[in-house]
Structure formats: C-alpha cells, structure tokens
Amino acid sequence: MAQEEDKAKEAARKADIHASVDRFKASYDSKMASHRANAQKLERLKAAKRSLQGELHHFDSYKKEFTNLGRSLTTSQFKGTRRDKFDKKLEEIT
C-alpha cells in the first residue's frame, strides 16, 4: 500500500509539474506574440519616421525658397496693397 501511495503522490507531483510547464509555456507564447507585434509596430514607426524626415527636408527647402523670394523682391518692384497682400501671404506660407 505504501508503494501505491508513493506512486500516486509521484503521479500527482508530475501532473502538477506538467501543469506548471503548460502555464509557463502559454505565458511565454503570449509574451512572444506580444513582442513580435510590438516589433512590427516599431518597424512601421521607423519606416514612417524615415519617410517623414524626407518630407520635412522638402518642406524646409520650400520654406527657404519662399523666404528668399520675399527677401529678393525689393519694394520698388511692386508697392502698396499688392505688396502688403504678398507679404501677408508669404508670412502665412512660411
């Protein structure tokens, strides 16, 4: 009888160990899936950042061109309300 009890206890212990292993494996799989999803999000964000940096470079170039345009035109080239409207629009753009 003692032998049967020992075998039953050993079987119960092994079942507990297997249950713990299954829980840890499920937890690991869940965390790895989350990690992969976050890694994909990070890659998409990095790609978007690279794209936006290029767009910002183009925007800065246009901004410099408009600023230089405003500086290059003298007040003798056109005056009055047209110049005021031009300066106002140029300020809005830049």
Output the six-digit token pair for 44. Answer: 């998409």
Output the six-digit token pair for 42. Answer: 């990070």
Q: Which of 20-34, 51-65, 76-90 has the lowest mean pLDDT?
A: 76-90
Number of separate domains in the chain: 1
Domain interval for residue 9: 2-93
Report CA-CA distances (Å) from 50 to 21, 47, 54, 94: 43, 5, 7, 23
The pTM for the full model equals 0.51
pLDDT of 18 higher than 90 = yes
pLDDT (average), residues 33-48: 97
